[in-house]
Structure 1
Amino acid sequence: MLIPLILSGGSGTRLWPISRRNLPKQFLSLAGKETLFQQTIQRARGLPDVAAPIVVASDDQRFLAAEQLQELGVEGASILLEPTARNTAPAIAVGAMQAIQKDPDALILVLPADHLIGDSASFAAAVARARPLAEQGWLVTFGIRPDRAETGFGYIRRGEALEGDTFRVSQFVEKPKQEIADQYLASGEYDWNSGMFLFRASRYLEELNQFAPAMRQAVETAFGKANKDLDFIRLDHEAFAAAPGDSIDYAVMEKTTRAAVVPVTCGWSDIGSWDALWLAAEKDANGNHLEGDVIALDTRGSLVRSHDRHLVATIGLDDVVVVTTPDATLVARRDASQDVKKVVEQLKAAGRTEHDLHRVVHRPWGSYDSLESGDRFQVKRIVVKPGAALSLQMHHHRAEHWIVVKGVAEVTCDDNVFLLSENQSTYLPLGSKHRLRNPGKLPVELIEVQSGSYLGEDDIVRFDDVYGRAG
């Protein structure tokens, strides 16, 4: 059984301000209509003899993963929730343990959810070449044939030839300096390290037990104590947090004697920066990639992206990145876009929220858009999906007014349950138990006006919740 193991954690800070903790790059549509996560799922589904995927996700992003799987009509997927980030080696280990429960001899195809692959046919052919090696007990990685001297990627040096354009790994190399990268490209002996792998689940755990036994033990304990929560499998927090955090390269691949590499040219990009997205994107005659409402005059080699109802105009600019969102704008030289993470670090240090949340925040029941805020008030636009409901909740520090602008909402306020139609409103006093539900077949939209001494999202006491968030 070939089981895709999709690693969907990560914050994607280098693609700020579009990518943020609550909506990172893997769940965004950056290159096509589907998100990078969905493209990864579809690419795996197109392989022969493939089973339902196993997804490893963070707790914060569990509903994003579940909803995007549902949009694709994927059935039978397992979603494992990491209580804390511990890097790729532990994440792959829990996925391997889940795969063995499905099939003791399962092969797992490890795929990061945030990569872009333009040539799915070449990727599928590479998987087909790798599969016999994995069945023979090799731990196979996929090396991307380099087309430039890139300093932002790790490299793999090919060793002796095995079979069918596959090779033993001679050496893993960290991100090199420019002159070293030039030498790697000229030699023809090196491939980029893609972070994609194929091996038997049991073989990976054997190697992990040999080279990182403490990690293997902690992950096994976390998996053994996992509990089912709706459609999710929650790993034990204490045990998983005790696992040493390390990448699969450091923990296993650089130490094993059975590492093999399959070189492939498939239009791959890790979309690790705005410059990487510009390289992978379609461009106009001036070398620009423009999205949204953009006017670019005397502008070349640039990526300019505006958000809805916001015009961006550039004049006389070359090789820049301009990205706007409702609450933040990034302007940078394209070759400096790797440093966006420094902006995120400053936002964190200042206690600001722009690295964490978008103005529009997605929830399992729908979304809310923070339209305006000031001293003791906040205004939100709330959209509730058909059949969905918010938790039964109360607030210690604020009261709320709800005005329905589209659809019909069912409102619970203490012991009263009633319907509100368009242009009708209600008042929810401070301390009241209340809930909003959409009983219809179309989305409900309403304006919420909050007033009180504290308006933070952590002032919510949940008594009941269909999404398992109560308590």
Structure 2
Amino acid sequence: MIRKIVPVIMAGGRGTRLWPLSRAAAPKQFIRFIGNRTLFQNTLERVSDSKIYEPAIVVTNEEFRFLVAEQARELGSNLSSIVLEPVARNTAAAVAAAAVVAADLFGESATVQVLASDHEIGVDEAYLSANGAARAAAEGGKLVTFGITPTEPATGYGYIEVGDILPSGAHAVKRFVEKPGLEAAAEMLSAGGYYWNSGMFMFAVPTLLAELEAFASEVLEAAKLAVAKAVKDLDFLRLDRGAFEKSPNISIDYALMEKTAKAAVVPSAFKWSDLGSWDSVWKTGSQDEDDNVSSANTTLVGTKSSLVMSHGPHLVVSGLENVVVVASEDAVYVGRMEDSQDVGKVVKRLLAAPATSKLAEIHPTCYRPWGGYTSVLVGDRFQVKRIFVLPGRKLSLQKHHHRSEHWIVVKGTAEITVGEKVEILRENESSYIPLGEIHRLANPGKIMLELIEVQTGSYLGEDDIIRIADEFGRS
């Protein structure tokens, strides 16, 4: 019997380089850019072949736990575990903890494949061949990384110089190169034998743990103790905070791959992008006859070589070239394509001003275990939200000290509790919840429940929720 690979998907990043769609509270791996699936869902799909893979282990954080669970549920993907990091400690601690969990679930001789949740990858024969070579090398005692064949002298990636070829088809790693300047990148591209460092790995757990013990023992010790003292909570495994935060804050590359003599690299020619900027989204997108990449809800007239996307208002772009125009529900970014790498500077400026800081941190749509809500309009002493509740789910039994609420059902069926009264509301019917009254909203139907909520009161913050009972353990 051939053992299956255990996928480990790293989904805790908070990048904001694809602002305004991606924000600290809604990073790019969970955003639908073009199409119906997120990058995280595409990653789950790549490891969905049950003949090759075990159900994935996902490493994320408290804030994203329900996003992970819900997006996996949408795909019908079973997960082995959702491991919650109590504090950010970079990739070394996360990989170490995931390896310990994999050994507990699938045996100490398991082989794990570590994948980022926010990469765009083309699955073809080159991809399958690279995976096969990586697995053979890992099971032969190597710590394997995937090196992407460079297509341009990119300065945003680290590079790997390959050494001698190994029997598996992988190569020994000659050296790792930090992110270079443009001239050095061009020289490496011209010389050949250099590959982009993708941040994807294949490890046999015994080899990984032994090398961590040798070169990063503090990381391994913290990870083992954090898993040993972890608490199971619904579908989540909460790593122990006190143990995990003692791990050094270091990447798996610095902690291990640049030190071990067992590092190997598989040169890989499949389509890959880390989607680290809007120009990379444009490069990997489906371009029309004018070299534009656009989403629904957009109209382009006399526009060329541009990226135009909207998750909010209808965008019309006329007579422009080499631009990026992206709209979320509450913000619009317009810039030159060649300045895409500078979006991070824009976000820093937004964060520095109290009036705009929330635009970089909070997304208008927030997800919860029962569904979520989108903030539509905020004014003095009132707020309008669109609430969506998944079939069979219900919110906590709760009350508010500072606001009353009006609910209007626009789709589906709602079961509404107000005080001692329970009633069923259908489309175009409404209910009023007085300030201080105990209430609950539930979806007893088979389709998504959608309603408009109008809040009025002296304080409308999300922390004015007193939970009396909650099926998700939040009361």
The answer, yes or no, to whether TM exceeds 0.5 is: yes
Q: Give the aligned partner of residue 440 of structure 2.
A: 435
Partners in 1 of 2:288 and 2:427 — Cα distance?
A: 45
Residues 1:399 and 2:404 aligned together: yes
Q: Give the 3-state SS of the residue equivalent to 2:93 in structure 1.
A: helix
- Alignment equivalent of 1:172, drawn from 172, 176, 185: 176
Partners in 1 of 2:61 and 2:101 — Cα distance?
A: 16
Residues 1:449 and 2:470 aligned together: no
- After superposition, what is the alpha-carbon deviation per residue over 1:264-310, rounded to whole angstroms, capped at 9, x for unaligned? 111111111111111111112221112123333332221111235x3
- Alignment equivalent of 2:343, drawn from 340, 343, 358: 340
Residues 1:412 and 2:421 aligned together: no
Could you say if the C-alpha distance between residues 306 and 383 of structure 1 is closer, same or farther in structure 2, counting changes exceeding 3 Å?
A: same
Residues 1:356 and 2:385 aligned together: no
Amino acid paired to 1:86: R
Q: Give the aligned partner of residue 139 of structure 1.
A: 143
TM-score (norm 2): 0.94
In the TM superposition, residue 389 of structure 1 has moved relative to its aligned partner by 0.4
Q: Give the aligned partner of residue 110 of structure 1.
A: 114
In the TM superposition, residue 32 of structure 1 has moved relative to its aligned partner by 4.0
How much is the aligned-residue C-alpha RMSD, in angstroms? 1.7
Q: Give the aligned partner of residue 35 of structure 1.
A: 38
Aligned 1:23-422 pairs, distance under 5 A: 23-30=26-33, 32-46=35-49, 48-101=51-104, 102-308=106-312, 310-351=313-354, 352-422=357-427
Partners in 2 of 1:386 and 1:123 — Cα distance?
A: 38
Amino acid paired to 2:317: T
Instruction: Verify the 8 A CA contact 2:137 2:168 in the aligned structure 1.
Output: no
Between stretches 205-214 and 192-201, larger displacement belongs to 205-214
Amino acid paired to 2:215: F
Partners in 2 of 1:205 and 1:324 — Cα distance?
A: 45
Could you say if the C-alpha distance between residues 200 and 353 of structure 1 is closer, same or farther in structure 2, counting changes exceeding 3 Å?
A: same
Could you say if the C-alpha distance between residues 425 and 314 of structure 1 is closer, same or farther in structure 2, counting changes exceeding 3 Å?
A: closer
- After superposition, what is the alpha-carbon deviation per residue over 1:310-336, rounded to whole angstroms, capped at 9, x for unaligned? 332223322111101120000111121
In the TM superposition, residue 81 of structure 1 has moved relative to its aligned partner by 0.9
Between stretches 249-258 and 362-371, larger displacement belongs to 362-371
- After superposition, what is the alpha-carbon deviation per residue over 1:142-175, rounded to whole angstroms, capped at 9, x for unaligned? 1001111111111001012212532110111111
Instruction: Verify the 8 A CA contact 1:406 1:444 in the aligned structure 2.
Output: yes
- After superposition, what is the alpha-carbon deviation per residue over 1:244-264, rounded to whole angstroms, capped at 9, x for unaligned? 111111111011111000001
Could you say if the C-alpha distance between residues 379 and 32 of structure 1 is closer, same or farther in structure 2, counting changes exceeding 3 Å?
A: closer
Instruction: Verify the 8 A CA contact 1:43 1:120 in the aligned structure 2.
Output: no
Amino acid paired to 2:289: A
Instruction: Verify the 8 A CA contact 1:96 1:202 in the aligned structure 2.
Output: no
- After superposition, what is the alpha-carbon deviation per residue over 1:24-60, rounded to whole angstroms, capped at 9, x for unaligned? 2112233543221121122122385321111111111
Instruction: Verify the 8 A CA contact 2:387 2:453 in the aligned structure 1.
Output: yes
Between stretches 236-245 and 371-380, larger displacement belongs to 236-245
Q: Give the 3-state SS of the residue equivalent to 2:219 in structure 1.
A: helix
Partners in 2 of 1:443 and 1:5 — Cα distance?
A: 31
Q: Give the 3-state SS of the residue equivalent to 1:45 in structure 2.
A: coil
Could you say if the C-alpha distance between residues 128 and 31 of structure 1 is closer, same or farther in structure 2, counting changes exceeding 3 Å?
A: farther
Instruction: Verify the 8 A CA contact 2:304 2:322 in the aligned structure 1.
Output: yes
Partners in 1 of 2:50 and 2:444 — Cα distance?
A: 40
In the TM superposition, residue 466 of structure 1 has moved relative to its aligned partner by 1.5
Partners in 1 of 2:155 and 2:335 — Cα distance?
A: 19
Instruction: Verify the 8 A CA contact 2:398 2:465 in the aligned structure 1.
Output: yes
Partners in 1 of 2:166 and 2:27 — Cα distance?
A: 39
Residues 1:426 and 2:431 aligned together: yes
Could you say if the C-alpha distance between residues 325 and 30 of structure 1 is closer, same or farther in structure 2, counting changes exceeding 3 Å?
A: closer
TM-score (norm 1): 0.95
In the TM superposition, residue 122 of structure 1 has moved relative to its aligned partner by 1.6
Residues 1:461 and 2:448 aligned together: no
In the TM superposition, residue 228 of structure 1 has moved relative to its aligned partner by 0.6
Partners in 2 of 1:325 and 1:30 — Cα distance?
A: 11
Instruction: Verify the 8 A CA contact 1:47 1:124 in the aligned structure 2.
Output: no
In the TM superposition, residue 138 of structure 1 has moved relative to its aligned partner by 0.6
- Is there any run of 5+ residues in structure 1 with no aligned partner, and where? none
Q: Give the aligned partner of residue 7 of structure 1.
A: 10
In the TM superposition, residue 208 of structure 1 has moved relative to its aligned partner by 1.7
In the TM superposition, residue 205 of structure 1 has moved relative to its aligned partner by 1.9
Q: Give the 3-state SS of the residue equivalent to 1:179 in structure 2.
A: helix
Amino acid paired to 1:297: V
Instruction: Verify the 8 A CA contact 1:409 1:419 in the aligned structure 2.
Output: yes
In the TM superposition, residue 97 of structure 1 has moved relative to its aligned partner by 0.4
Between stretches 416-425 and 136-145, larger displacement belongs to 416-425
Amino acid paired to 1:353: K
Report % sequence identity.
Answer: 51
In the TM superposition, residue 104 of structure 1 has moved relative to its aligned partner by 0.8
Instruction: Verify the 8 A CA contact 2:66 2:367 in the aligned structure 1.
Output: no
Between stretches 116-125 and 265-274, larger displacement belongs to 116-125
Q: Give the 3-state SS of the residue equivalent to 1:89 in structure 2.
A: helix
Could you say if the C-alpha distance between residues 379 and 76 of structure 1 is closer, same or farther in structure 2, counting changes exceeding 3 Å?
A: closer
Partners in 1 of 2:386 and 2:79 — Cα distance?
A: 34
Partners in 1 of 2:129 and 2:377 — Cα distance?
A: 52
Partners in 2 of 1:287 and 1:47 — Cα distance?
A: 38
